Each structure stands twice: as C-alpha cells, then as structure tokens.
Structure 1
Amino acid sequence: MWEKGLYPLSLPIKVFIISYLILVGVGLLIALWVVLESPIIKGESINEQYSPEALQEMKSAMFYENLKKAHVHHLGHIFMVFSLVGIYAFTREKNNIKIQVIVWMTIITLIHTLAFLIYSKILLIVFGSAYAILMAYIMIIIFIDCIKQPKDSVS
C-alpha cells in the first residue's frame, strides 16, 4: 500500500505534513539559539558568587528542578520524535535504513535527556547535535517523499 510513499496523499494532507515540518524546523532553530545563548555553553559560572555550602544547597535543590525540566524536555522530544518518525515510517526509504534511523533516534533522545538531567555540557552538545542532524535528515526525507513522484508512477 505504501510502495509509493507519501506522494499519492491528497494535497491537504501534504500541506499539513509540510507545515508541520516547518513548525518543527523553526522550533529546532529556536532551541539551537537558546542553547547557544545559555550561560553554561558560554562558559559563564556562578560558582564564585556563592559560598561552598550555599552552592551545595543550590545543587540539591537544582537536581529536582532539573528533573522536572528534563521530564518536560523528554516529553517534548518524545512528541516530536514519535510524530515525525511515524510519518517517516511511511516514506519510500529502504526499511533497513528506516529501522536504523529510528533506533538511533531513540538512543540519542534518551542520552540527550539524561545529559539534560545531569547537566553534562559535553553530552548535551554531542547528542543534541546528533539529534538535530537526525531530525533534519528525517524531515528532508519526508519533504522529498511528499513532492517527488515515484519513478514507476505515470501521471
């Protein structure tokens, strides 16, 4: 049924899918901007402003704040990944490539969220970048599949 991918879908469905891709793409760009502007990425530190005891108390309190933020962050990723991968699964791409992309996307999303929880700068950068690259790849494949006619199809 899906040998022709997303191309045979009606125009309103394709417009919906492409509009969704644009919204997700803009969201990813905004997230990238926020990350690049964050004090942690810029290397700014608040350690010298507080006593060691106050810093320890802040770290304990921040763990629960980070846990809540990581949970919301993770749910956002799950929504984006699940919805985009759901569409991606119906594209004309080879099944073995789709499976690899989906599995890697799952692993990367989990590690990226863990990095947010423990606030590991290097894990956030590495797995956030890998996440963005895979998301961009998935969105490009979906877009191409919506607009490019299958080779064996005659209009």
Structure 2
Amino acid sequence: MAISFTLNGRPVTLDVDPDMPLLWAVRDEIGLTGSKFGCGMAQCGACTMHVEGQPVRACSTPVSAIEGQKVITIEGLAGKIAKAVQDAWVKHEVAQCGYCQSGQVMSAVALLSENQKPSDADIDAAMQGNICRCATYVRIRAAIHDAAKTVRA
C-alpha cells in the first residue's frame, strides 16, 4: 500500500505494509537512522519524532497513521528552538552514551515550542517517559532551562 507524507520538508511515498511502525519506515526504507529503537513499546522515548509538531513514539505508530502529515526527525530538526536546545546539550555535556539523545532533544524542542518558560514540573512532565540509562536527568533539565533563556532572549 502506498503511503504518502512529508518527511523533513520533503514529500515521501512508501509502498510498505500500513502496519509497519513509522520508526522502521524511516530507518529501513528511507535510511535516516538518527531516531533509535529502544524498547519497541513506546516506553523509552528513543524513537521520538514530531508528527504535525507533536512528539510521537515512532516505534508504535503505524506508518498508515501519518498519511498526509508532516513528520520531522532529528535529522530534519531546525530553527531557533532546535539550535538553542542542541547548543545547550553541548554546553551542559548532556550526552554520555548518546543513544537516547535524539529522542530527548525532540521532546525538549516540542516542550519549548509550546512553553518557553517551563518550570521544573513542566520539564519533568514533558520529558517523562524519555529514559536515559546514563541518568543525565539533572543535566537535561539544566539544558532545557538554558535553552529556554536563549529562546526568550
């Protein structure tokens, strides 16, 4: 079945099983490997992508569910908020092993796109379910606060 959507600003049509998870369509069929497979149950956040600006777990989202929609992966992330988050990630040395970071960054950008002055509670709620085995949660929160200041400036 042909499924069409916009990926990182470019139209894409895939002839795949409509039940194929979006993650596998993007990684295996298109070759963008920045979004990671973690748990396969939408619990860890490593696979997070934006669909119509909202963070979604691509490992459990069938590709048919995004027909006609706009999808952004870590490779296509751009703009002032994305740059502020990426710069803050480097400044605060958030990444350790790095495996979860694409999902973490995607969730942080989604948060700051809706709330440019998040409290600790707002950050915790938005990042809940984004698991970091290296436990850099304190650095993640600090980086998000720092990025928010940059975005507001």
TM-score bucket of the superposed structures, by smaller chain:
under 0.3
Point out the structure with max Rg over C-alpha. 1
The structure with more helix, counted as a fraction of residues: 1
TM-score (norm 1): 0.23
Q: Highest relative contact order (Cα 8 Å, sep 6+), 1 or 2?
A: 1
The structure with more strand, counted as a fraction of residues: 2
